[in-house]
Structure 1
Amino acid sequence: MSGIAGWVDRGRDLTREGAAAAVMTARLVTRGRHGEALWSSRSAVLGHRADALDRAGAQPAVVREDGEPIAVITFDGVLYNASELRSLLASDGRRGPLETDAELVLRAYLRWGPAAAERLEGMFAFAVWDVRESALLLCRDRFGVKPLSYLPLPEGVLFASEVAALAAHPLVSTELDAEGLCSVLAQVRRPGHAVLRGLREVRPAHVVRFGRDGVTERRYWALEARPHTQDLAGTIETARGLLDDAIAREAGAGTPSVLLSGGLDSSALTGLVAEVAGGAPRTFTVSFGDSAAAVPDRPFAQAVVERVGCDHREVLVEPGELTDPLVLDAVLAAKDFPSPFGDKNLTPYLFYRRVAEHSPVALSGEAADAVFGGLISEQERASAGHRTFPWIERARTFGMAHGIGNGLFDAGLLDELGFASFCAERYQEAVDEVQHLSGAPDDDRRAREIDHLHMTRLYEQAVNHSERLGAAAGLQVRFPFSDHRLFGYLYNVPWRMKSFDGRDKSLLRTIARDLLPASVLDRPKVPFPITYHAGYKQSLTARLRRLLEDPGAPVLPLLDLSAAQRTADDPRALDRGGWLGRADVEMVLQLDGWMRTRQIVLAL
């Protein structure tokens, strides 16, 4: 795990500005806790902060010719096709090591230029400073698992893995305008835009080049609509082969570890890993010390462990840990922006921290829902005329007019901000990206749209959420189901095949049929377990009351104070819709904490 940062400015002598770059790099501590390094020249500074177990190598890495640097890289991530790249680059005539992922990517850039991105397999974000051309290249993996934001400058650019690192630079203004606030509350952003005013994000599967001739942006991969010509048996065989290949690449050598919840996705992954790796994996399951999880996962996970023969460990999260101020601050820092998910953030962080004591890398079953069509209900697939995202529609069925976590914000203010219009515009923007085959049935068109929406817009609340929390906890979490070949293939499989037996994720159930107990195969989808411990809910209302009593709380101008006070006085409001009622409080508390720690200024 690591974080990257840097500064290019042709109008300044950056050899004199080392303090600002060093502060940015130091703020990447949530992604790398054990060391940092800077490379600097007159026009560019590249920084890197790493975890002790980071295997990308010493960074920033430099390639020299005649003793002079010609290119420098700072890299965050892991390559899954390192051996193939090493073979290709060994004959390029250049001298120098090709041992680490950072060195491989830098040499790939020197050989193929920006087109090198298309040859990289893995999860990554990196920056290359080309000394010869006085140009900076920023790049992000196909699904944007690794984060990377930037701020264009008149004669250059600032960039970093975390917005917190950018916010530490004197040239960055931490202003939250109407669009930024809508982005936070909707949990959806305009493509390429960050939450704070003026900040941008490198879009997934994009390279952005900053040269003397200006800024250019290029997409190097996209989901494409293609006819599906295989029958059901062939489809199952192909999907299994692609999944096996993804697991083999991401598991690497040795005995892999798997995060096992007892649900279909993680259980199928566990069984497949055992077959692909030729031995049972280590598995880890989270449980609560007060036995108050909403769904009893333990029997299902245990059934998988017994069937596969895993080396299994159960990780216990005690109720008091979920209210520890240090844990609350660590999770907010790890996520880099507020969200309404509360202990759905806290529990994985604590879980990953314990797993990291045994293993530096673990495989996760996340993204299987989007890949195998597990997020589409029959009603959503059959309906037409949608005007917003499916997850906002679902929240409305629980009386949440503005989506999850927004029930305590001033409705009049949201109208003034144009929140509904913002969501509608972002939705239409997303739908317009979807390619359709001519003559495709309506159910296939709708299923394709929902798959695309979840993978390109909701993904950040799942896979990116886990990557950030894992990095902060010292655990590299990998996601075999998010392999671009697998998703690109299944994206074009007709809906009738994805649910050929009348159930969701029919293909995955069939692939795992001989690997898992029937109880797990037949288990309906359940959410990540949350605690219903009374102490946690009491903590939420107590924190809300303290916030309402603080006239300097930065979030106060945004709230419906009467509604917030009623919730603080009556904890029963937290139980609306299961965990959804308390999401309203979680969002207020996280937004307030984020605005305080980042010194956010409202510019509405």
Structure 2
Amino acid sequence: MCGICGVHSSAAPPDPGQATTMMAHLIHRGPDAGGYYVDDQVVLGHTRLAIVDTDNGLQPMCNEDSLVWVTFNGEIFNHVELREQLRDRGHRFRTRCDTEVIVHAWEEWGPGSFDRFNGQWALALWDRRTEELVLCRDRYGVRPLYYTRDGDQLRFASEITALLAASGAGAELDPAGMDQTLTFWAPLAPTTPFLGVRQVPPGCYLRLVGGRETTSRYWSPGFPEAGPADQASEEEHAGALRESLINAVRLRFERSDVPVGAYLSGGIDSSVTAALIASFTDVEVDTFSVRFDSAEHDEGRYQRLLTDSLGTRHHEVRVSGRDIAEVFPEVVRHAEHPLLRTAPAPMFLLSRLVHECGYKVVVTGEGADEVLAGYDLFLEAKVRQRWGADPDPAARQRAVAGLYPWMTRSPARAPAFAAAFFGRNLDLADPAMSHRPRWDTTAMIKPMLADRMRVESTAADDLIARMPPGSERWEMLGRAQWLEMTTLLPGYILASQGDRMLMANSVEGRFPFLDADVGRLAASLPAEQKIAGLDEKHLLKRAFADLVPREILTRPKQPYRSPDAESFFADGAPDWVGDVTCEAALNRTGVFRPDMVAALLAKARRRDGRGLSNTDNMRVVLVLSTQLLLEQLGGQDARPRRPPTAPVVLDSVLDFRTRSTS
């Protein structure tokens, strides 16, 4: 796992100093080594976190005749198999690392190589033969890749801060990006939170030839058409899922030259991955968990149940609201996005624990809810589908009877609430019926925005227009999964809670549920086996009933959450809260209405941040994170940007310039 950056210039030769400036802001992503390649048109920079072939593998890396170069962030887990195929075709290799496979795969298959990769990546390829720069991102968007255009120059980097540092510009929020954030929780690629900054969409590659930029898609989620399911039994599908996940976990655990640990939340997803590592390896497994002082958020009971069952060497970090408030400015700096939840903060503290324990790699359970339909949103959509198909009150009551039986105010016990929630926007022809409640709830925050930041929102309609041809024939669950994989997964789960919090502490996360083969199989499974009745992730539970304790398999689903507004007010607000939300600061940024912010924060202080509505909690976190973000990135408030944390040590400088730079 690494940081990548670079500059393409179609006019004057690029300045390597731009790359080293960006590398200085990416050192946390790759503290083990640094280097750059430069010629008359391109600079490619790299900061390395050495995981595979640690003694070799310095980047940027080239093929044997130095005509194809790459700077690469990520892992190609099937590099061993691809290397053998390429050797059979006459390619010669100098290292064992997966990076070298990329340049030879490009030589052999061109853009077709991306669909052959099973991994998680962001990469930049420079083909000197055709004078072509290619930027590519993995299928689900595990690894970030941003870029800007400035006249004859295109700059790219793993993080926005690096791009801003190279340009010397401040960060200006994009009203369209903020509107998408206040609909989907994050902007949709290629949009970002900032004007002038774009991102390569997941499953896509950008080509720059002769100053002309084009973006092409090599992969998109797809699902079966509605109709009779295939003839395979539930048992057969569970067996196939089991085999696929075993292979995915083994690839991610075994293909590393440094030790690999495992995150453990106490839910089924991380329990499966940890159990597979413990069952199919002969090394002692280290597991890592977050604990909360708040009983409402803590899952320690289930974490202990699994660690006792597996006999892992367990580590945990206990997090209080005060801990979240203290670390939140640093969390926002690394997230580089306005946030609606504090949940990234405990993940930052967890990855710091991993780093302190000497680990560079952890396997996690992210992606399972998206590919195997584990979110409450999918269950609620199924109930709404039944309501839309049958208006009979008794039938509707039966449809909600089994939903959230552990809740004091479950829909079955609160018919008025059920009617208001499930009956709203009940249009079975709407491709986004599953997501309208969440989008509507998030959009309730928009009135807080200052007039200059508000736009006429077409975000939902624009997204629906991007759905693949033929998606109208998918099962409702398939459409819901596509929406989730396109919005929340890359923009928030894998970014703000994932890559950014891990790499802030130089830790690589690996996600078996987002394995290419697991994803293909999961997409093909019948909807009624993913959610059997109202049993979410039914097939996963059946596939691993022998490895995961029954108490975990049958426990009520507890979404990962952390204390929001109460983190900042229950024990007295830290000084920075007042600094970034005073009237002068709000007027400088011009993002929010000061009167509404003042009323919101007064309410939070009166209640010590407790007992606020879901929407008010999101409002508080949004205001604090956005104000912090602009302060730290030298945005509308015009304060100095935070300098890089460490100087860059250049282990390799590859200078192929032929034109004079004087």
Matches within 5 A, 1:201-280: 201-212=199-210, 214-226=212-224, 228-229=229-230, 230-252=232-254, 256-277=260-281
Q: Which letter maps to 1:423?
A: A
* Separation of aligned partners in 1, 2:636 and 2:348: 29
Q: Tell me, yes or no, if the aligned pair for 2:205 and 2:215 is still in contact at 8 Å.
A: yes
Q: 1:417 maps to what in 2?
A: 455
Q: 2:405 maps to what in 1?
A: none
User: Would you say 1:31 and 2:69 are equivalent positions?
Assistant: no
- Match among 477, 480, 485 for residue 447 of structure 1: 477
* Separation of aligned partners in 2, 1:93 and 1:364: 37
Q: 2:597 maps to what in 1?
A: 564
Q: 2:287 maps to what in 1?
A: 283
String of CA shifts for 1:518-552, please: whole Å, max 9, x gaps: 21111111122424896642455864444343514
Q: Tell me, yes or no, if the aligned pair for 1:407 and 1:584 is still in contact at 8 Å.
A: no
Q: 2:499 maps to what in 1?
A: 467
Deviation, 1:364, is 0.7
User: Would you say 1:498 and 2:530 are equivalent positions?
Assistant: yes
Q: 1:393 maps to what in 2?
A: 437
* Separation of aligned partners in 2, 1:321 and 1:22: 34
Q: Tell me, yes or no, if the aligned pair for 1:541 and 1:567 is still in contact at 8 Å.
A: no
Alignment partner of 2:187: what SS? coil
Of 100-109 and 209-218, more deviation after overlay is shown by: 209-218
Alignment partner of 1:151: what SS? strand
* Separation of aligned partners in 2, 1:315 and 1:573: 24
Deviation, 1:413, is 6.4
Q: 1:525 maps to what in 2?
A: 557
* Separation of aligned partners in 2, 1:526 and 1:179: 33
Of 543-552 and 506-515, more deviation after overlay is shown by: 543-552
Q: Which letter maps to 1:402?
A: A
- Match among 100, 103, 106 for residue 100 of structure 2: 103
Q: Tell me, yes or no, if the aligned pair for 2:580 and 2:628 is still in contact at 8 Å.
A: no
* Separation of aligned partners in 2, 1:322 and 1:156: 40
Q: 1:49 maps to what in 2?
A: 47
Alignment partner of 1:356: what SS? helix
- Match among 307, 315, 318 for residue 317 of structure 2: 315
Q: 2:626 maps to what in 1?
A: 591
Deviation, 1:427, is 3.8
Deviation, 1:105, is 1.0
- Match among 130, 139, 143 for residue 140 of structure 2: 143
* Separation of aligned partners in 2, 1:100 and 1:480: 20
Q: Tell me, yes or no, if the aligned pair for 1:271 and 1:512 is still in contact at 8 Å.
A: no
* CA 257–490 in structure 1, closer or farther in 2 if over 3 Å, else same: same
* CA 551–322 in structure 1, closer or farther in 2 if over 3 Å, else same: same
Of 77-86 and 481-490, more deviation after overlay is shown by: 481-490
Q: Tell me, yes or no, if the aligned pair for 2:365 and 2:512 is still in contact at 8 Å.
A: yes
Q: 2:366 maps to what in 1?
A: 366
Q: Tell me, yes or no, if the aligned pair for 1:114 and 1:137 is still in contact at 8 Å.
A: no
Deviation, 1:279, is 6.1
* CA 293–389 in structure 1, closer or farther in 2 if over 3 Å, else same: farther
* Separation of aligned partners in 2, 1:303 and 1:498: 25
- Match among 402, 405, 408 for residue 443 of structure 2: 402
Alignment partner of 2:480: what SS? helix
- Match among 428, 433, 437 for residue 468 of structure 2: 433
* CA 533–7 in structure 1, closer or farther in 2 if over 3 Å, else same: closer
Q: 1:516 maps to what in 2?
A: 548
* Separation of aligned partners in 2, 1:245 and 1:149: 32
TM-score (norm 1): 0.87
Identity of aligned residues (%): 24
Matches within 5 A, 1:72-87: 72-87=69-84
Of 243-252 and 17-26, more deviation after overlay is shown by: 17-26
Q: Tell me, yes or no, if the aligned pair for 1:293 and 1:531 is still in contact at 8 Å.
A: no
Deviation, 1:516, is 2.0
Deviation, 1:97, is 0.7
Alignment partner of 2:173: what SS? strand
* Separation of aligned partners in 1, 2:566 and 2:530: 41
* CA 574–253 in structure 1, closer or farther in 2 if over 3 Å, else same: same
Structure 2 portions without partners, runs of 5+:
386-425, 638-662
Alignment partner of 1:39: what SS? strand
String of CA shifts for 1:28-67, please: whole Å, max 9, x gaps: 23422354322111211111112365767211113353xx
* Separation of aligned partners in 2, 1:534 and 1:330: 18
Deviation, 1:466, is 1.1
* Separation of aligned partners in 1, 2:240 and 2:587: 53
* Separation of aligned partners in 1, 2:29 and 2:92: 31
- Match among 18, 21, 27 for residue 20 of structure 1: 18
String of CA shifts for 1:254-295, please: whole Å, max 9, x gaps: 87421111112211222233333356632122113xx32423
* Separation of aligned partners in 2, 1:88 and 1:387: 42
* Separation of aligned partners in 2, 1:240 and 1:81: 19
Deviation, 1:208, is 1.4
* CA 282–92 in structure 1, closer or farther in 2 if over 3 Å, else same: same
Q: Tell me, yes or no, if the aligned pair for 2:186 and 2:492 is still in contact at 8 Å.
A: no
Deviation, 1:75, is 0.6
* Separation of aligned partners in 2, 1:600 and 1:573: 30
Q: Tell me, yes or no, if the aligned pair for 2:450 and 2:591 is still in contact at 8 Å.
A: no
Q: Which letter maps to 2:628?
A: G
Q: 1:476 maps to what in 2?
A: 508
Deviation, 1:122, is 0.7
Deviation, 1:368, is 1.0
* Separation of aligned partners in 1, 2:549 and 2:32: 42
Alignment partner of 1:73: what SS? strand
String of CA shifts for 1:460-480, please: whole Å, max 9, x gaps: 311233122101112111111
Deviation, 1:179, is 1.2
String of CA shifts for 1:159-206, please: whole Å, max 9, x gaps: 111111111233867433321332343334344233322332111111
Q: 2:580 maps to what in 1?
A: 547
Deviation, 1:11, is 0.5
Q: Tell me, yes or no, if the aligned pair for 1:263 and 1:300 is still in contact at 8 Å.
A: yes
Q: Tell me, yes or no, if the aligned pair for 2:579 and 2:585 is still in contact at 8 Å.
A: no
Alignment partner of 1:466: what SS? helix
* Separation of aligned partners in 1, 2:528 and 2:589: 49
* Separation of aligned partners in 2, 1:64 and 1:554: 57
Structure 1 portions without partners, runs of 5+:
none
- Match among 115, 120, 127 for residue 118 of structure 1: 115
Q: Which letter maps to 1:409?
A: M
TM-score (norm 2): 0.80
Q: 2:423 maps to what in 1?
A: none
Q: Which letter maps to 2:478?
A: R
* CA 33–213 in structure 1, closer or farther in 2 if over 3 Å, else same: closer
Alignment partner of 2:46: what SS? strand
Q: Tell me, yes or no, if the aligned pair for 1:144 and 1:204 is still in contact at 8 Å.
A: yes
Q: Which letter maps to 2:303?
A: A
Q: Tell me, yes or no, if the aligned pair for 1:408 and 1:584 is still in contact at 8 Å.
A: no
String of CA shifts for 1:446-491, please: whole Å, max 9, x gaps: 2111111111211031123312210111211111111222222222
Higher relative contact order (CA 8 A, sep 6+): 2
